[in-house]
Chains A and B, each alone.
Chain A
Amino acid sequence: MTDPQDNSKKVAEAQWQPKIIAFLCNWCSYAGADLAGVSRLQYPSSVRVIRVMCSGRMNPSFVIRAFQDGADGVMVAGCHPGDCHYIQGNLYARRRYALLAGLFDFLGIERDRFLMSWVSASEGGRFAQLVTELTDRVRALGPQTQLSGRDHANG
């Protein structure tokens, strides 16, 4: 006979949906996500979008905080170089996140949970594709426990 508790655990695991936080810049990437919606493109509902004014507004501690609060994946997207509404905000961001990604790698934190990319206002399809890709990657890794410090598979 199967243990009912064990069974419910299995069900919980099967129903587990990754939580993905996407920080999108107001001028390009958020409009790109909007276009994906308006064009009725399919992408996983695991993503929660947070709009920031510029990718250069993003402090790397936002990403760490998101992981701490239980995010399983974090995505940062901004305008392509040269397209930034504030001329150069995304270029500062590029430096910061290169170091963060390298540091994750050095510490052994699962690097695949973090994604940074450029998404323009016309790239709705690209946004949908990136979210799908990140969700697949995170689903393969399972719940994030390294920085959240709690077992949140149940909640």
Chain B
Amino acid sequence: MQTDEIKKLLADKLSKGELRAVIGYRRGTNPFFRRPLITSSAEELEELDFSPLGVENLSTYITDTVRKRRARRRDPEEHYKPTAVVLRGCHSRALNVLLQEKLIPREELFVVGLPCRGVADPHKAQTLWHARAENRDHRNVVIDEQGLFELRNGQKVRLADFEEISDECHGYCRTPNPLFYDVLVGEPVAEEPVAAESQFKDVEEFLKKPVEERWRFWSEQFSRCIRCYACKNICPACSCQECSLAKDTEQPLVADAKVRKTFWLGKQQDPANNAAYHINRALHLAGRCVSCGECERACPVGIPLLLLYRSVAKQVFDNYDYEAGMDGEAEPIMTRFSTEDSEDFMEE
């Protein structure tokens, strides 16, 4: 379906009362950024935007919506109506993870699939615009799947190809098309996705470094962490209501003051505690991280979190032949085992 048809369909459903809300993208405060649009009014849907600048993983917002609905026990029937959500390929994988973990019922979702030929990196686009535009008026910015353009006297003038402004995710993307959807925006992407065996080139490249250099790299990265927990808050897979790694009050397990210290890591922002936080988080994401890259975009100090989580994803793929979120019916990888699992890491 074309974009205006989709908008019309969603507006129709909203006004008929068949949908509870729509989660999509809208224009941000400047033309390079998109932000989530969460609305239940048909008029606001006019703002719905399907540009390649919409990078946010919207499945993050669904868990909360459903959870709040469940918390209110005596809920009006209309709250059980499906929520429409716009999802790209990797985002649908994230949703699959949530479906596997029974956090969301599928019948409460209306998925608007968005085939993805790679998303644009807003920061790259902005930098190029400021370097190459003749008249830096933001009203003249056009960004689509062809590239970055400037409007000069009503004419589109190309400033950059899409490759120049695109995010690196197309180098390992396994799912350009959403894995499931109720309606699809436009036509599915015809190109073959990256092969399963060659998706972890970045991790393999990093592993070529000697061990000491790896630790020097990561300890430097971890020492910059300010423990703002943005990576955890933006992550669709981090769906716990209370995070064991980010408790901010001391809650004793038993009434004895001596055993008050029940944390598994300290709140101090020293390299050791930061490293412990990141190691724990990486392990919690084993077989659940879908490489959507939201953590890295959210990180204010630019830690290459995706590389860390993808290294665990690589292990899961190599050892257990499993990729996160490819099948909403499959049992999560860490809640099962095989008697044939590798023991290479163990002592004879």
Contacts and interface: CB of A to CB of B under 8 A. Distances in A.
Given A94-B343, A98-B342, A108 B272 contact: no
B103 interface: no
A91 interface: yes
B315 A148 contact: no
A61 interface: yes
Interface residues of B, number: 47
Interface residues of A, number: 38
Contact of B279 (A103, A115, A148): A103
Contacts of B346: 94, 97, 116-118
Given A109-B215, A147-B275, A103 B283 contact: yes
A49 B309 CA distance: 32
Contacts, number: 114
Given A102-B345, A147-B275, A96 B215 contact: no
A94 B340 CA distance: 11
Contacts of A142: none
Given A102-B315, A103-B312, A146-B215, A91 B345 contact: no
Interface string B220-257: 00000000000000000000000010000000000000
Interface string B247-275: 00000000000000000111000111101
B187 interface: no
B343 A60 contact: no
Given A61-B264, A103-B282, A147-B276, A115 B347 contact: yes
A92 B337 contact: yes
Nearest to B266: A68
B214 to A, nearest CB: 3
A11 to B, nearest CB: 27
Interface string A8-49: 000000000000000000000000000000000000000000
Interface of A: 59-62, 64-65, 68, 81, 88, 91-92, 94-103, 105-110, 115-118, 130, 133, 146-150
9 contacts: A94-B337, A94-B346, A95-B341, A102-B311, A106-B308, A108-B217, A116-B347, A117-B346, A146-B272
